[in-house]
């Protein structure tokens, strides 16, 4: 049985001397594994369209739950991701997150579009990488059930004013009065040991400024093609970036080897 679909190669594993197993985020089949026989041969006609990060039309042979690549036609190679090791590492992290979220077929068009916009922005340097990474993390969390409460106090449901805090664990922003009432509140200071909260702190909270709050609101509501169309001062961007990463990882309950690799590239 032959099936045709569009998809992004989000992971590849070499098998034997000439084959690969491709993990493909498809438009309508979910995340699937495709056996690509002889794809590593320079004579293979699919070699340029079935590489990591490529977005292509795929013709697949399916038997049971298994897929084999018959042919593919390149739509976008995102070549710029291969010219810079930091871009490559960040793109690999984005794809790892996508693989986690796109496990249900009806969700994959949403993830696919978000990943395509993100890879294009990284490859073409449309915004700072730190901003792209953080915006993707918060947007994908919001789209798939972890939308934080950013427009009213998550404790009293009143207006947000004064010195507000973002509560990572409870997914909301707390007003100054509620912040003061919370005697057990422990704020994660950015120059502490990055892993100290795991064993020492009962909560993960960040005191945030108005521009960081505005950025968080923007990335959960902006149209997809405008997701990265904003700027932050360096100190605010650092805080925004840390909030988004910790928020996503906390609610997923896991880390990513690709994130560790990306961090090793930029440190």
The 3-state DSSP class for residue 231 equals coil
pLDDT score of 179: 76
User: Does the residue 35 lie in any domain?
Assistant: yes
- Bridge partners of 74? 56
User: Does the residue 234 lie in any domain?
Assistant: yes
Range list of H helices, the chain:
85-101, 108-123, 129-143, 176-181, 196-200, 210-221, 234-252, 257-266
Sign for the pseudo-dihedral over CA of 115, 145, 139, 245: negative
Same-domain check for residues 69 and 6: yes
Q: What is the pTM of this model?
A: 0.88
Q: Give 28-79 pLDDT, tens digit per residue.
A: 888 999 999 999 999 999 999 999 999 999 999 998 889 999 999 999 999 9
Same-domain check for residues 70 and 178: no
pLDDT score of 184: 47
**Statement: residue 15 has pLDDT above 90:** yes
User: Does the residue 133 lie in any domain?
Assistant: no
Give every strand in the sheet of 172-174, ordered side by side. 149-153, 172-174, 164-167, 205-208
Mean predicted confidence (pLDDT) in 155-181: 84
Same-domain check for residues 112 and 154: no
**Statement: residue 190 has pLDDT above 60:** no
Same-domain check for residues 147 and 107: no
Average pLDDT over all residues of the chain? 88
Contact 162, 175 (CB under 8 A): yes
Contact 8, 54 (CB under 8 A): yes
pLDDT score of 107: 65
Spatial CB neighbours of 183, under 8 Å, sequence gap ≥ 6: none
pLDDT score of 103: 63
Q: Which residue has the higher pLDDT, 121 or 162?
A: 121
pLDDT score of 52: 95
pLDDT score of 105: 52
Spatial CB neighbours of 74, under 8 Å, sequence gap ≥ 6: 48, 49, 54, 55, 56
């Amino acid at each position: 049985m032959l099936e045709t679909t569009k998809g992004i190669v989000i992971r590849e594993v070499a098998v034997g001397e000439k084959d690969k197993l491709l993990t493909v985020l498809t438009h309508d089949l979910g995340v699937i594994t495709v056996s690509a026989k002889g794809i590593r041969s320079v004579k293979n006609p699919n070699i340029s369209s079935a590489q990591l990060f490529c977005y292509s039309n795929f013709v697949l042979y399916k038997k049971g739950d298994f897929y084999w690549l018959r042919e593919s036609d390149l739509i976008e190679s995102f070549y710029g991701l291969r010219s810079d090791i930091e871009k490559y590492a960040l793109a690999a992290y984005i794809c790892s997150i996508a693989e986690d979220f796109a496990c249900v077929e009806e969700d994959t068009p949403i993830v696919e579009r978000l990943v395509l916009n993100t890879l294009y922005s990284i490859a073409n340097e449309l915004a700072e990488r730190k901003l792209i990474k953080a915006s993707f993390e918060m947007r994908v969390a919001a789209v798939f059930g972890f939308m934080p409460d950013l427009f009213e106090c998550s404790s009293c449901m009143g207006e947000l004013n004064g010195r507000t805090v973002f509560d990572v664990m409870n997914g909301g922003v707390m007003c100054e009065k509620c912040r003061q009432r919370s005697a057990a509140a422990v704020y994660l200071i950015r120059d502490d040991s990055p892993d100290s909260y795991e064993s020492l702190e009962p909560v993960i909270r960040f005191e945030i400024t108005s521009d960081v709050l505005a950025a968080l609101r923007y990335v959960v509501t902006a149209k997809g093609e405008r997701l990265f169309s904003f700027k932050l001062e360096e100190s605010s961007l650092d805080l925004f970036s840390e909030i988004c990463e910790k928020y996503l990882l906390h609610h997923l309950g896991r880390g990513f080897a690709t994130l560790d690799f990306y961090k090793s590239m930029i440190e």
